[in-house]
Amino acid sequence: MVQLFKEGRGSAHAFMNWQSKEQLDLEYILNVPATVIDNHTVEVAGERFQADNLVLGTGAETVFPNIPGTDLHGVYDFVSLIEELDFEPQRCVIIGGSKVAIEYGSFFQAAGCPTTIAARKPLMRTASLHHVDEDLRQYVVDGMRKRGMQILEGVEPVAIKGDGNGNAKEVILRNMQDGSEESLACDFVFIGTGERPKSEHYREVLGVAVGEKGEILVDKHMRTSVPNVYAIGDLIGPPMEMFKARKGGMTAARNIMGEPYEFDWTDYPDFLHSTYEITWVGLSEEEARQRYDNVVVIQMPPKGVPHEDIPLPCAEGTMLYAFMYPELTGFQKAVVEGNSRRLLGFHHVGFGAKDAFQYLDYLMRRPEGITIDEMGNMNELFLNPEHFIQLCRLRAGSPNLRDL
Amino acid sequence: MVQLFKEGRGSAHAFMNWQSKEQLDLEYILNVPATVIDNHTVEVAGERFQADNLVLGTGAETVFPNIPGTDLHGVYDFVSLIEELDFEPQRCVIIGGSKVAIEYGSFFQAAGCPTTIAARKPLMRTASLHHVDEDLRQYVVDGMRKRGMQILEGVEPVAIKGDGNGNAKEVILRNMQDGSEESLACDFVFIGTGERPKSEHYREVLGVAVGEKGEILVDKHMRTSVPNVYAIGDLIGPPMEMFKARKGGMTAARNIMGEPYEFDWTDYPDFLHSTYEITWVGLSEEEARQRYDNVVVIQMPPKGVPHEDIPLPCAEGTMLYAFMYPELTGFQKAVVEGNSRRLLGFHHVGFGAKDAFQYLDYLMRRPEGITIDEMGNMNELFLNPEHFIQLCRLRAGSPNLRDL
């Protein structure tokens, strides 16, 4: 499995490289560190390159907790895991509760390695997940537990201990409420405590302005404080998501080519992979109720109906869940402003709905937005995991909207 | 498996019934045949109901081929399969190459029953699939063969033969080119030769006008030739798709309530489940080239690049395909009119992209359509199976579009 993962990951990256070179006519140099000399000069593998503009995109790195044992064999973060994992782990403890912790932890568990997540705060209550309602959050965390994961909240790491050969063998945790300690045996420790932009080199050499967490400060054109220097991706801070990195690169390129293109990433559709695929865009129900008086909710299962009673439409390959484990088939919610009849938010827990959220984001964000009546007018494709069109149609046209 | 399927299917239907009753306040009577007396009167289970309007929606039934042996035990269509299948089949032959044949055949094969499809014409070259290009068609049919299905094209059924106990044991086929016959041993025969609307009762009692294949003729309000009688769904002929049934029901209801709502189902997004999920909306590349001079194609893998070299982004749960079997990860194509820069069609073979096509249909069909530049401007969710936004962005903004 380890070997397969390494090779497979390489092939996907190799194709993106092929695409950039053959289809976009880019030139690039891979797998060597670059040194910035000034805002027009970069040195790579002993060669100096002159350029009118620089675009910095070197990302972020894991913030390791300041505890003993993080240098033991068997302790990885998302970077070293790919490069250095050299055994099939039997038991995993994840320190931290970040998105990376949830995504990798769910993958380890699904791949047959029993996994514990040990986090200070309740999972999914971090700032970047403020659009996720408590009922959806609970459903997702319950789902992880139902698949056998152990989730410990309100604990902090004290130490990672090794055996005589320098291999990690246990994690010591402290209960933040009563101070008691416990030990979890494991052969694999994954650090998921969040990332910090790798901006030191640019601060030292170029003097670019950074924020309090080391993120390079940029405007909506992706310009840094230094003329002719742009920065993109995780290097400019949260959200540390692929969409921002990619669209930021396009924004920098367009500005360099003379087009005053602006990119606003303050609100965006987002997702999280756990044992489910969780996707959302726009306001949560709770956020909507704080801002509007007349909020209507369309959801499956409806409020008060247990998940066990409602097998939702499933994606390809997960249909048997609907038959055997209806409680695992998902949870979805659309939030409507009842007076304007406009959709304020869409939320989905399940499988296979992610793509749709890109277009829901566009429709909701355009000036005229999208109403429940326009949703009901669309042509749906049955059976689909995200069946907002069908659900909206059950209320579309009604003069007085009420919850579904 | 048979038992699980029956129970599971029932639970999903039970929920839709619950939803109709509890959330839409409908009243209905299940599992009894209804007799229409006149255009205001229906008799059900000995009771007569009076109504201002009737909405007919009794669907279609399989056209069985006129050959000996279709009454043997072990011969089913999509209706009797659910009701009557009483053994675990070991070897299946499907007579016919309809959408139902492809969808059920792929399911039988995936469920562990080796399956042969025996069809007169090449699969997927029927009228309802005219928006599917030959390269995509070939990829889908190849994919079925790679999963072990046997596909025989250009053959017609001669007879189904049984053993001494009345159980089907072989299908005799005739090669339509050279007239030679062959026998396929099996214990399970599935009829997939297409369906015909069940309109006889309404013709006899109400005298509704029907077309040459028995379909009840309706206008865009779903009105039949008989006052106060509406018809919807498979009963009004192709496309025999769920979206048309559902939206037709809404159309009839709105018209009955006094709103002159029209529904045009001449063009629509559509899908087919094989060993893949195949989804499309708008024109195929071939159709576009017949209508426009400047057609630009954006596709993955690009033309001339083998599928084995390109692992595409995969849906949840299919990522390992990308690592082990890149040739199975899919095929996608967007068709662009190069002068207006508007999208003419989207096509996807893979898993998990279906939901997105509902919104792509809406965007493409609205008066202003959607351009490649607007696509490139959207916020994408990475990694997603249908990555049209990312692909469009690689060409968006370029003054002269060229293929990707």
Q: Least CA distance to B384: which residue of chain A?
A: A355
Partner residue opposite A247 with nearest CB, options B279, B318, B379: B379
Distance separating alpha carbons of residues B81 and B63, to the nearest angstrom: 15
Q: Compute the average pLDDT of residues B25-42.
A: 90
pTM of the model: 0.93
Burial (CB count within 10 angstroms: exposed 0-12, middle 13-18, buried 19+), residue A308: exposed
**Contact flag A23-B242 (C-beta cutoff 8 Å):** no
Q: Which residues in chain B touch residue A380, judged by CB atoms under 8 angstroms apart?
A: 243, 246-247, 358
Under 8 Å between Cβ of B378 and B389? yes
In one-letter notation, the amino acid at residue A401 is: L
Decide which of B382 and B106 is more confident. B106
Pairing of strands A277-282, A295-300: unpaired
The 10s digit of each residue's pLDDT in A155-176 is 999 999 999 999 999 999 999 9
Token pair 């801002």 is found at A291
Partner residue opposite A358 with nearest CB, options B5, B357, B389: B389
pLDDT at A315: 62
Question: Does the bond joining B383 to the residue before it have cis omega, within 30 degrees of 0?
Answer: yes
pLDDT at A317: 59
The 10s digit of each residue's pLDDT in B52-86 is 999 999 999 999 999 999 999 999 999 899 889 99
Q: Is the pLDDT of residue B171 over 90?
A: yes
Q: Which residues in chain A touch residue B351, judged by CB atoms under 8 angstroms apart?
A: 315-317, 352
pLDDT at A39: 96
Q: Compute the average pLDDT of residues B279-305.
A: 96
Q: Is the pLDDT of residue A292 over 60?
A: yes
Q: On the CB side of A148, how many CA atoms lie within 13 Å of its CA?
A: 11
The 10s digit of each residue's pLDDT in B323-345 is 777 788 889 999 999 999 999 99
Percent of chain B with pLDDT over 70: 95
Decide which of A17 and B211 is more confident. B211
Q: Compute the average pLDDT of residues B194-223.
A: 97
Distance separating alpha carbons of residues A130 and A116, to the nearest angstrom: 24
Under 8 Å between Cβ of A57 and A233? yes
The 10s digit of each residue's pLDDT in A94-103 is 999 999 999 9
Contacts of B14 (CB under 8 A, 6+ apart): none
Q: Which residues in chain A touch residue B270, judged by CB atoms under 8 angstroms apart?
A: 381
Distance from CA of B179 to the nearest CA of A (A): 40
Tell me how many helices (H) and strands (E) chain B has: 11, 20
H/E element holding B157?
Answer: strand B155-162
pLDDT at B221: 98
The 10s digit of each residue's pLDDT in B119-141 is 999 999 988 899 999 999 999 99
Question: Does the bond joining A65 to the residue before it have cis omega, within 30 degrees of 0?
Answer: no
Task: Provide the 3-class DSSP secondary structure of residue B300.
Answer: strand
Distance separating alpha carbons of residues A231 and A224, to the nearest angstrom: 6
**Contact flag B381-A273 (C-beta cutoff 8 Å):** no
Which of B87, B115, B106 is closest to B184 using CA atoms?
B115
> In terms of DSSP H, where are the helices of A147-241?
200-206
**Contact flag B316-A352 (C-beta cutoff 8 Å):** yes
Tell which of A355, A372, A395 to mutate to test the B interface (max B CBs under 10 Å).
Answer: A355
Distance separating alpha carbons of residues B124 and B115, to the nearest angstrom: 17
Tell which of A140, A254, A346, A380 to mutate to test the B interface (max B CBs under 10 Å).
Answer: A380
Distance separating alpha carbons of residues B293 and B281, to the nearest angstrom: 20
**Contact flag B4-A397 (C-beta cutoff 8 Å):** no
Q: On the CB side of B322, how many CA atoms lie within 13 Å of its CA?
A: 26
Token pair 């609100």 is found at A267
Q: Which residues in chain B touch residue A389, judged by CB atoms under 8 angstroms apart?
A: 358
B156-194 as b/e: b if 16+ CB within 10 A: ebbbbebeeeeebbbbbbbeeeeeeeeebebbbbbbbbb
pLDDT at B207: 97
Q: Is the pLDDT of residue A20 over 70?
A: yes
Q: Is the pLDDT of residue B312 over 90?
A: no
Model confidence band, residue A320 (pLDDT cutoffs 50, 70, 90): low
Distance from CA of A153 to the nearest CA of B (A): 27
Decide which of B307 and A136 is more confident. A136
pLDDT at A316: 57
Q: Is the pLDDT of residue B8 over 70?
A: no
Mean pLDDT of chain A: 92
Q: Which residues in chain B touch residue A381, judged by CB atoms under 8 angstroms apart?
A: 243, 269-271, 279, 354-355, 357-358
Q: Least CA distance to A361: which residue of chain B?
A: B379
Distance separating alpha carbons of residues A43 and B102, to the nearest angstrom: 58
Q: What angle do CA B247, B251, B254 make, to 5 degrees?
A: 135
Tell which of B234, B381, B404 to mutate to test the A interface (max A CBs under 10 Å).
Answer: B381
Mean pLDDT of chain B: 92
Q: Least CA distance to B402: which residue of chain A?
A: A23
Model confidence band, residue A308 (pLDDT cutoffs 50, 70, 90): confident
Q: Is the pLDDT of residue B322 over 60?
A: yes
Q: Compute the average pLDDT of residues A221-228.
A: 98
Under 8 Å between Cβ of A165 and A74? no
- This complex has an ipTM of 0.92
Model confidence band, residue A359 (pLDDT cutoffs 50, 70, 90): very high
Q: Is the pLDDT of residue B311 over 80?
A: no
Model confidence band, residue A82 (pLDDT cutoffs 50, 70, 90): confident
Q: Compute the average pLDDT of residues B147-155.
A: 96
**Contact flag A320-B8 (C-beta cutoff 8 Å):** yes
Q: Which residues in chain A touch residue B389, judged by CB atoms under 8 angstroms apart?
A: 358
Model confidence band, residue A263 (pLDDT cutoffs 50, 70, 90): very high
Partner residue opposite A358 with nearest CB, options B24, B316, B378: B378
In one-letter notation, the amino acid at residue A130 is: H
The 10s digit of each residue's pLDDT in A371-384 is 999 999 999 987 78
Model confidence band, residue B208 (pLDDT cutoffs 50, 70, 90): very high
Q: Which residues in chain B touch residue A254, judged by CB atoms under 8 angstroms apart?
A: 397
In one-letter notation, the amino acid at residue A291 is: R
Q: Least CA distance to B1: which residue of chain A?
A: A320
Q: Which residues in chain B touch residue A386, judged by CB atoms under 8 angstroms apart?
A: 355
pLDDT at B386: 87
Q: What does the block give as tokens for A178?
A: 């009563």
Q: Is the pLDDT of residue A325 over 90?
A: no
Q: Which residues in chain B touch residue A278, judged by CB atoms under 8 angstroms apart?
A: none
